[in-house]
Structure 1
Amino acid sequence: MSDASVLRDLPAEVFRPLQRVEFQAMVERGMFDGTHVELVGGVLVEMSPQGPPHVWMIVRLTKLLVSALGDDYDVGVQTPLAVDDISLPEPDFSVLTRGQSGYPEQAALVIEVSASSLAFDLGVKARRYAAAGYPEYWVVDVTSSCIHVHRAPSANGWGRVEVVRDGTLQATAVRQLSLEVPALFAT
């Protein structure tokens, strides 16, 4: 029996989500040294190791974002983002308004690079980012060479979601950011 199947047998009312401040205190005490976890929806989620396609895309997007945004925004690369009281995920990129300190709460654009975590990135994480009101969320799917673009956030999810495979993708919240989608995936 797996750990997940044991959890399915427990009634929902016995669970209490881990609060972000509790998680932060645990991190500061070194409780997760040697493991890579993030807090999403009050649950600790172990991060998958990054394979070559994921690493390659992180390198490519880092160069593109820093070059396109210059000094107008800060670019968080795999840094925690304070989404809500029970979530402190580490998106691959967050385009941040300048001047935030500590764990940033505001982001103009959040980007996840997905090779093995597509369902999680398009599901739980997408809902959290929408409820937080981030104006735009991209999931760069390195397996299918496309970008899942989420816009019009609300507490109930995203108003518009499209899959972009061709042409130029223009960010709506960060006007100086556009990218040629086929070129992004070219080897």
Structure 2
Amino acid sequence: MIITTRKQFTIEEYHRLIELGFFTADERLELIRGDIITMSPKRTAHSVCNSLLFGELYVLLKDKAVVRGQEPILIPPNSEPEPDVVIAQKREDNYLSSHPFPSEILLLIEIADSTLIFDRDVKLPLYAEAGIMDFWIVNLRDKQLETYTQPYQLSKGKYNYRSQQIYLPDDIINIPHFTNISFVLKPFFM
């Protein structure tokens, strides 16, 4: 009988593999709970929504926060996901010394069509466990925005968000931490 063991990587090991050229430049990868995951190809609606949303948030928040699009965040010891949009606190070095940590993230957004189940079942608990206070899923399948706040531990090793709310395309939403800044959702749902 052959026994196999799955190798779980730390962030440092993952970065070392990148430095050594283990992956090609065009590979889209994420480190999730120690596993190196190939990211799903983006469909047209996902790309358009991402571009529009990033552009809108950048214009609304450019002097108030850092808006990052499809860039890594760090969740030690073994996760480096690449959310579609992150609004992070301003930092003097503009995150040159490291990607944002959960304590620096004001809002994290995933845009989901083919990735909806993965975003809900894998990423949502990861973000809740990391203490990311505000998480949104732009659900392109059902044409709705799902907002999640107040992370908590449901049971040992299981995390979720206490508050979950659905917004429809005609709704106007306030941006967490910037309650005086809002926008209409309709343009993001084709």
Distance 1:174 1:91 in 2: 20
Distance 1:27 1:104 in 2: 19
SS of the equivalent of 2:98 reads: coil
Please name the residue that 1:27 is paired with.
18
Offset of residue 176 of structure 1: 4.4
SS of the equivalent of 1:128 reads: helix
Distance 2:14 2:8 in 1: 10
Count matched residues: 175
Offset of residue 175 of structure 1: 2.8
Which TM-score applies when normalising by structure 2?
0.85
Please name the residue that 1:61 is paired with.
53
RMSD of the alignment, in Å? Answer: 1.8
Distance 1:111 1:92 in 2: 6
Percent identity over paired residues = 25
Structure with the largest fraction of strand: 2
Distance 1:96 1:144 in 2: 27
2:77 aligned to which of 85, 95, 112: 85
Structure with the largest fraction of helix: 1
Specify the code of the residue in structure 2 equivalent to 1:96: A
Q: What runs of 5+ residues in structure 2 fail to find an aligned partner?
A: 154-158
Worse-matched range after superposition: 175-184 or 117-126: 175-184
Please name the residue that 1:3 is paired with.
none
Distance 2:183 2:15 in 1: 35
Which TM-score applies when normalising by structure 1?
0.86
Offset of residue 142 of structure 1: 1.4
Q: Is the 8 A contact 2:150 2:163 kept in 1?
A: yes
Aligned pairs (5 A) from 1:171-186: 171-185=175-189
Q: Is the 8 A contact 1:136 1:173 kept in 2?
A: no
Distance 1:92 1:164 in 2: 19
Q: Is the 8 A contact 1:73 1:98 kept in 2?
A: yes
